[in-house]
Structure 1
Amino acid sequence: MGSKYGMIVMGPAGAGKTTFCSALIQHLRNNKRSCFYINLDPAAEEFVYEPDIDIKELITLEDVMEELHLGPNGGLIYCFEFLLENLDDFLTEKLETVTEEYLIIIDMPGQIELYTHVPIVPALVSHLRGGSLNISMCAAYLLEIDRAKFFAGTLSAMSAMLMLELPHVNILSKMDLVKGQVARKELKRFIDPDISLLQDAPESGLVYEYKDGVDNGDPGDAQSVMAGESFARLNRAVGQLIDDFSLVSFLKLDVQDEDSVGAVLSYIDDAIQYHEAQEPREPNDDLMDAEMG
């Protein structure tokens, strides 16, 4: 068991990662618990809480794109390659002073290829978990409820689980925004991904409806492939893959609700075994502390 504890917050752009980090930090502060906040998004601009370590002090996406004439995705990969070359000076030395009372929160960018296509983030995680740091870590993967993107997002979460080889806490974010709009029975189908979601909404573009008397498109036409039966079969195959492996289920997160944030944190603590390493207290310790106070 390591003497440090941390989590890496991932998910597609717009899923609410930084908002979740801010809500989690506030919850930890409310409960007199320490945290160490790391921003590894070289394009992030605004924070509710100032990061203890900010990758923009090392490199920024804007500078990389301007100087190397790269696009956002290529620039981001370059930023992380540069980070990996400077891990000891930029991350390791600062994290070595962090004690076991702290929860290390690492806020990541939203480009999913970092977690699913290239070995950059796995290399980062391996460094944090090994050597002198020896951080006990888990991953929090955020998605929002969007039927058209849900199964692609779930597949990305599953891919990240396999790539990073970390305990995963998968989270449906922005519950405060869908409250009253999604029925409880419908919500359960997102919490435990239900392949029948693909069959219920032809207007989402995830299924293909053949209609008599209308032009259903030429299957050989590239323009109609995304609306054709082959695309529908692909979506069903993706849904079936997720259903067959049953690796992904989600927790609900309402960042406006203190109890909701606390419930998610309890799963994170279990995943990193945070409480198991804390010193046990005798039954009369609290009474003695109160008397001394």
Structure 2
Amino acid sequence: MSAAARELRGRNRLNAKKKNWKEKIFIYLFFLFLNSQLLLPFNAKSLLAAWVVLCFSLHTPLPFLFLLFFYYIKIFFFVWLRCLFGASAFSLIDFALCSCFFILLLLPGKEKRKEYIDDACCKASLMFGELVCGPPGSGKTTYCEGKRQFLSVYDPTRPVVLLNLDPANEDVFPYPCDVDVREIVSHARVMEEEGLGPNGSYVFCASVMERNMEWITRKIEEAVERRLRDVVSTAAPIATSSGLLSTRAPYLIVDCPGQVEFYLGSYVMHALFRVLTKQLSCSFCTVHLVDAAVSTRDVATYVSSCLLSITTMIDHELPHVNVMSKWDTLSAEEAEEGETFLRASHFMAEDFDRLWKKQLRRRRREHRRAQMYPTGSTDASRVDSKLMEKDDTDVEAIDLERDGGRLYHYSKAVMDVVDGYGLVGFQPLDVQSQDMMLRLTRQIDEAIGNFV
């Protein structure tokens, strides 16, 4: 546990103790008021009420302790003197009740037990985070920076730490990350010094990262401490009845590499996830991004995107959220049709054949336009609409089950597997859209249980 996290938890514990003292002393003083109808004159009761108001305004239990101590001594001598000279049984009961309430005041109450529970929960889940995965070019790095900027405005009390795990992010990094794995290994340098190709260099980088797990965790702890200090120093405390500083748990955003070598040829990613989960008590959620313009280009590409998403879900064994990034690159017509692609688990029966025939019509039209490309003997402005209508009619008459071809049957069989799991669905994302970022952030928080 980092020093800043211990300091923050100690501050919250101290504030919780103040609230606990105020609640229990209020109950005890209420009992004393009822009990003092025969023991105190009117001016003494007024003085006691003024003292209560003063102590509540100072938010400290020390004056209460002095008051209760002297008042308890007075009751002690008063009751026992009455007992020696013929006190009634009611006086003994009165003294016993006062003693019980004074003992209960010193015992840990419900708020104290709740503090212990909160402390245990803080140890069990000290941090939250998301693993941003996806194929190369899906917008992972842009999303990480957009998420950091969004949280700085939407939730400024949440300390955000960015971790870059891609050693090939050279000269395209749009933000200064808090922890950068390129400080220990660089893809370009490995290719130059070791004489390896792109894929072999990724495997080499993965082995170097696996041997430096302690360095990565230490850098993350240092970055968390810096961010916690920044949030505590800059974020104004919200005035509450308990005086708590509403600082949320640290949030770790991991920019994962998109190359499959990190997941199939090496166990570095799985080992890193386990280390971060155990040593830093971090609850992760996998955020898998696919390019909306690429994945909705045709049905076969969409099926491969769904298969990649469910493979990542099974491989990571973590809460999972699928995202179609770059939603703003789609035209209005494509975005309307793209709503169908968001429902992957309900895609089969009514949409698969329709979209397959739609892509066949589009490809035939593109083929016709290519044949009508202007040359010395043709005119590009002359488009035979009858041929276009004939092509559309021919496509509608095709029996896909009989004449669909191998690609159609293979894609449909794979989509049957995806549909059988019933787990794949996508969230549209435009990094510049605050509404989309807010919906995605809430869904991720629900997936990892980040409600504090």
TM over 0.5: yes
| Secondary structure in structure 1 of the residue aligned to 2:129 | strand
Does the 8 Å contact 2:203/2:261 carry over to 1?
Answer: no
What is the aligned partner in structure 1 of residue 167 from structure 2? 42
How far is 1:77 from its partner? 2.2
Which residue of the other structure, out of 305, 311, 315, is the alignment partner of 1:159? 311
User: What is the root-mean-square deviation in Å for CA atoms of aligned residues?
Assistant: 2.3
What is the aligned partner in structure 2 of residue 190 from structure 1? 341
- Whole-angstrom distance in 1 between the partners of 2:335 and 2:163: 36
Are positions 1:267 and 2:443 aligned together? yes
- Whole-angstrom distance in 1 between the partners of 2:436 and 2:146: 10
- Whole-angstrom distance in 1 between the partners of 2:356 and 2:343: 14
Larger radius of gyration: 2
Which residue of the other structure, out of 73, 77, 99, is the alignment partner of 2:199? 73
What is the aligned partner in structure 2 of residue 229 from structure 1? 405
What is the aligned partner in structure 1 of residue 376 from structure 2? none
Does the 8 Å contact 1:198/1:236 carry over to 2?
Answer: no
What is the aligned partner in structure 1 of residue 220 from structure 2? 95
What is the aligned partner in structure 1 of residue 253 from structure 2? 105
| Secondary structure in structure 2 of the residue aligned to 1:256 | coil
Unaligned runs of 5+ in 2: 1-123, 229-247, 364-390, 392-403
Are positions 1:178 and 2:304 aligned together? no
- Whole-angstrom distance in 2 between the partners of 1:58 and 1:113: 19
Closer, same or farther in 2 for the Cα pair 1:236/1:118, shift >3 Å? farther
Closer, same or farther in 2 for the Cα pair 1:189/1:235, shift >3 Å? same
- Whole-angstrom distance in 2 between the partners of 1:13 and 1:204: 27
Does the 8 Å contact 2:129/2:251 carry over to 1?
Answer: yes
TM-score by length of 2: 0.52
Closer, same or farther in 2 for the Cα pair 1:158/1:199, shift >3 Å? farther
Spell out, residue by residue over 1:36-81, the C-alpha distance to the aligned partner (whole angstroms, 9 max, x if none): 0011111113333200011111100011112222222221122122
What is the aligned partner in structure 2 of residue 21 from structure 1? 144
How far is 1:24 from its partner? 0.5
Closer, same or farther in 2 for the Cα pair 1:22/1:244, shift >3 Å? same
Does the 8 Å contact 2:126/2:250 carry over to 1?
Answer: no
Does the 8 Å contact 1:191/1:249 carry over to 2?
Answer: yes
| Secondary structure in structure 1 of the residue aligned to 2:334 | coil
Are positions 1:138 and 2:261 aligned together? no
Does the 8 Å contact 2:179/2:220 carry over to 1?
Answer: no
Does the 8 Å contact 1:121/1:164 carry over to 2?
Answer: no
How far is 1:114 from its partner? 2.9
| Secondary structure in structure 1 of the residue aligned to 2:185 | coil
Does the 8 Å contact 1:11/1:112 carry over to 2?
Answer: no
- Whole-angstrom distance in 1 between the partners of 2:335 and 2:257: 31
| Secondary structure in structure 1 of the residue aligned to 2:258 | coil
How far is 1:29 from its partner? 1.0
Amino acid at match of 2:198: P
Are positions 1:83 and 2:209 aligned together? yes
Q: Going by fraction, where is helix more abundant, 1 or 2?
A: 2
Are positions 1:122 and 2:270 aligned together? yes
How far is 1:164 from its partner? 0.7
Closer, same or farther in 2 for the Cα pair 1:180/1:231, shift >3 Å? closer
Amino acid at match of 2:204: Y
- Whole-angstrom distance in 1 between the partners of 2:422 and 2:262: 23
What is the aligned partner in structure 2 of residue 287 from structure 1? none
Closer, same or farther in 2 for the Cα pair 1:3/1:182, shift >3 Å? same
- Whole-angstrom distance in 2 between the partners of 1:203 and 1:112: 34
Are positions 1:12 and 2:164 aligned together? no
Closer, same or farther in 2 for the Cα pair 1:181/1:163, shift >3 Å? same
Q: Going by fraction, where is strand more abundant, 1 or 2?
A: 1
Closer, same or farther in 2 for the Cα pair 1:118/1:246, shift >3 Å? farther
Does the 8 Å contact 1:115/1:164 carry over to 2?
Answer: no
Does the 8 Å contact 1:116/1:156 carry over to 2?
Answer: no
What is the aligned partner in structure 2 of residue 201 from structure 1? 359
- Whole-angstrom distance in 2 between the partners of 1:118 and 1:80: 7
Spell out, residue by residue over 1:236-263, the C-alpha distance to the aligned partner (whole angstroms, 9 max, x if none): 2212111221221011111111121111
Identity of aligned residues (%): 33
Q: Which moved more, 1:69-78 or 1:161-170?
A: 69-78
